Structures are given as structure tokens and as C-alpha cells.
Structure 1
Amino acid sequence: MNGTKTDRGRRVVLWRHGQTAWNLERRFQGSTDIELTEMGIGQARRAARLLAALKPDAIIASDLRRAAATANELAALTQLDVTHDAALQETYAGAWQGLTHDEILARYGDQYTAWKRGEAVRRGGGELETEVADRAAPVVLNHADKLPVGGTLVVVSHGGTIRTTIGRLLGLDAHHWEGLGGLSNCCWSVLGEGARGWRLLEHNAGTLPEPVLGDDD
């Protein structure tokens, strides 16, 4: 995006999938293909009713079942087709995948601590966060480029992938991506296009965005 007047005002909604059994168990999912729980399906249906009110122009999603099923709830309300892309999958984390949080700390405590410090770590021998952004952010930008002026793109993906993509689109140094915090199941973040590029308008939201009324709009 070049930030010219003719392409401003577009919006990207990055929506995390609903709850899975592994979420409840605090088990690292990564690229493992886990389905939604009944609660997760309900979360997706509720959120879809809200997001449909934004009148999105396009929906793209990870091809993992938990994201695809979440996206389908919005597609059913908007009559939009969902474009699935493996580049929107969650971070591949090798040996960490399938382990609980406590198991990761016990077996890979040094690696976990280094990651939390902001070091470039291949968790479990998997992907770097910058590599996740390298594959996911261009997909989001490519679809955002196709939006009409003032249009809205909904991206259905995963917590880690969404965070790294937001960091990349905002131009933040990778060391600071952790500062964005995580997304709850079926919550979303909103990026808006402005004169100097993308801005974070909402983060970890579960209600419709409200306009900013004040001196910083």
C-alpha cells in the first residue's frame, strides 16, 4: 500500500479461530489440524453475526480445520466465498506441538525463556516468527490490495500468525511483536489504512469497532 488518497480507508479484520480441545488443555497446536469444540462453534457463530455487520468484501482463511470452520460461519451469513491459503496457518513448532505449557517449560525451558525475551528462536526446531510473517503478511496485503476504497477484508487465522502479521504490517521490529499480546478465541484485531500506512484500530476485540472521537482520529 502506498498510502495515497485513492487507496486509503481500507480495513483488515484479523480474526482468531474458536476454541479447540487443545486450547482448553493449554496444549501447543501449531500446524496440527485440530477441530473446534462445540463451544468453539458457538463462539464462531456469535462473532460471525457481529462481523457480518461490517459488510466485508472478502474472506480469506487458513486451511486448518479450526480456522476454516470459523470462516464458514461468516461465509454463511455474508454469502461470500472463502479463499483458503496454507500460508495463513499457525506457526510450525516442531517438537513443541502436542505438548502442554507445563511440558514445554519442563523440557525446553531455556528455549521458552529466550523466546519470551524476544530472541529469534526456532521453537521445537520449527519456524521463526519472522518466517511466519514472511509467508502470511504478503497474502494479507495481496488480498487487501484488491479491496475497493473503504472495503473490508476478514482474515481468519491463528493467534501467533495474526500477531506476527500485525507486527509486520505496522512496521514494528520483530523484537517488539510480543508486546501486542495474544488474542482470545474468536476475538479479532482491526487494522485501518491511513496516510502513513496501516494503523492498529482494535486489538483482541469481541464487539464491533467504535469510531474514534477525539483529537487522535
Structure 2
Amino acid sequence: MVDSAQARRILLLRHGVTGWNADGRYQGQTDIELAETGHQQAKAAAHALGTTYAVTRIVSSDLMRTQQTAAYVAEETGREVALDPRLREVCAGEAEGLNRAQILDRFGEMPASWEPYGGESWPTVAARFSAAVNDVAQSVAPGETVVVVAHGGAIRQGVAAFLGWDASVVATLAPLPNCSWIELLASDTAHGLIPSAPWRLATYATGAPIS
């Protein structure tokens, strides 16, 4: 049972949908704005988070789509947004702007790493993202809920690294829908959890419908 009043939470929220998301194009670190539907999703998610949790802080990737999403959470909760570039999506190099069929046509396969194509490897993303989440985790006081606004691929890789999972586990996690979130809960605010697991995955891919 969790002591709700003293719980230490981190909520990792994926940004709202963009035009490139809708077209199936890989965005990476290309700075794309939210589509109109993305704005609606972000507003709905922000309202759900603001009414469900006592949000105390907001940290966001510095890319436009995450900043726009975070702005709705800030408006709903009255909290300011701190930016951290370590929360950016993977840099996909030459693949950015392409859809899956175009990537297969150009490279012959879906690369396991974007490094040979001017981008990043997934372990690099996992390391920088998990470092950012660890910094947040170290400063979350009892009763605090921090919202981290970021990107689908980076969230999955970074959360797995932060929780100490083997990288192969990431492939078993379903993709996060736009504007859904993951809840991480500190073990010291729950009963019956082993001390060697200071944080646990409490919920996955929670979302809020557009009204």
C-alpha cells in the first residue's frame, strides 16, 4: 500500500502528436511543432495530471513539441518548466524526415543504431536520459510529483536504464501513445518492496481522452 501523502513520484509524459507522427515520419531531434490534435491531447493530459496528482515540478526536453506539451501542464498546475536537453529524442541522423518504407529503401533494414548515419546509438540515449531522470529522482522530496515531458523512444530506453533493466527488455515494452505517461514510484513510500529496487514502474501508458 502506498502512502499517497508522502509518495515520491515521477511521471514521464510523451508529447502530443505532430504532423510527422501522423505521417509515420521519424522525427528524432528535428524540431517539429504539435499538430492541432496534439494540442488537444496535451490539454487533456495536463488536466488529468493536474486533477489526479499534486504536481510540484515540471522538467521537459527542450524540443518544441515537448515544450508545447509541457506548457499545458504548467498552465494547469501553476508550475514553471525547467528544460533539460538530455531528455531529447534519439538523433536519427539521415533517417529524420523519412518513413519506415523510405528508411528500408535507403538503408536496406531498420538500423539497430543511428550512429553510422550521423545519429546516436540507443545506449547513448539511454545513458543521457537515465542520468537526467536520476537527477530528478535524487531531488524528489516526500509528497512531491515531478512531471518529465519527453519523447516515446527516449522514455522507453531511459526508463529501462534508470530502473536497471537489461536493454533487451525495451523491446518488450509497447510504444507509448502520444500524451500517455508512465508513473515511477519511489520504494520508500510503499510497503513490501525490496530495498535494492529504489524505484518501481507503477503504471504504464496511462492516457486521457480528448473531450
Aligned-residue identity in percent: 40
Aligned to 1:210: none
RMSD (Å), alpha carbons? 1.6
Alignment pair present for 1:11 and 2:9: yes
The alpha-carbon deviation at position 82 of structure 1 amounts to 0.2
CA contact (8 A) 1:18 1:66 kept: yes
Distance 1:121 1:86, change over 3 A: closer
Q: Give a deviation string over 1:87-145, Cα, whole Å, max 9, x none.
A: 111100111101011101222233x1x63xxxx56373311111112111111221222
CA distance in 2, matches of 1:79, 1:9: 20
Change (3 A) 1:65 1:16: same
Task: Specify the alignment match of 2:146 in structure 1.
Answer: 153
Confirm or deny: 8 A CA contact 2:91 2:114 kept in the other structure.
no
In structure 2, give the amino acid aligned to 1:45: K
TM-score of the pair, normalised by structure 1: 0.84
Letter in 2 for 1:64: L
Deviation digits for residues 27-58 of structure 1 (CA, Å, limit 9, x no counterpart):
00000000001110010000100001211111
Asked if structure 2 preserves the Cα contact closer than 8 Å seen for 1:48 and 1:74, the reply is yes
Conserved 8 A contact 1:45-1:73: yes
Give yes or no for contact 2:133–2:162 (8 Å, CA) kept in 1. Answer: no
Residue pair 1:57, 1:147 contacting (<8 A) in 2 also: no
**Cα deviations by residue, 1:145-193 (Å, 9 ceiling, x for unpaired):** 2221132111000001100111011211112212112110101111111
Report the TM-score when normalising by structure 2.
0.87
Q: 1:178 aligns with which of 132, 150, 171?
A: 171
The structure 2 residue matched to 1:32, chosen from 30, 33, 52, is: 30
Residue matched to 1:215: none
- Separation (CA, whole Å) in 2 of partners of 1:186 and 1:64: 15
Q: Identify the residue that residue 60 of structure 1 maps to in structure 2.
A: 59
User: Is the Cα contact below 8 Å between 2:16 and 2:39 reproduced in 1?
Assistant: yes
Which structure 2 segments of 5+ residues have no match? 1-5, 188-194
Cα offset for 1:18?
0.2
Q: Report the CA distance shift for 1:109/1:198 in structure 2 as closer, same or farther (over 3 A).
A: farther
Q: Is the 8 A contact 2:93 2:114 kept in 1?
A: no
Structure 1 residues 173 and 46 mapped into 2: Cα distance closer, same or farther (>3 Å)? same
For 2:19 and 2:129, the matched residues in 1 are separated by: 25
Aligned to 2:82: 83
Q: Which AA in structure 2 matches 1:135?
A: R
Poorly superposed stretches of 4+, deviation over 2 Å: 120-125
Q: Distance in 2 between matches of 1:59 and 1:174?
A: 27
For residue 133 of structure 2, what is the aligned residue in structure 1? 140
Contact 1:93 1:123 in 2 (8 A): no
**Contact 1:62/1:86, CA 8 A, preserved across alignment:** yes
Contact 1:18 1:40 in 2 (8 A): yes
What amino acid sits opposite 1:198 in the alignment?
A: W
Q: Output the CA distance in 1 between the equivalents of 2:72 and 2:160.
A: 27
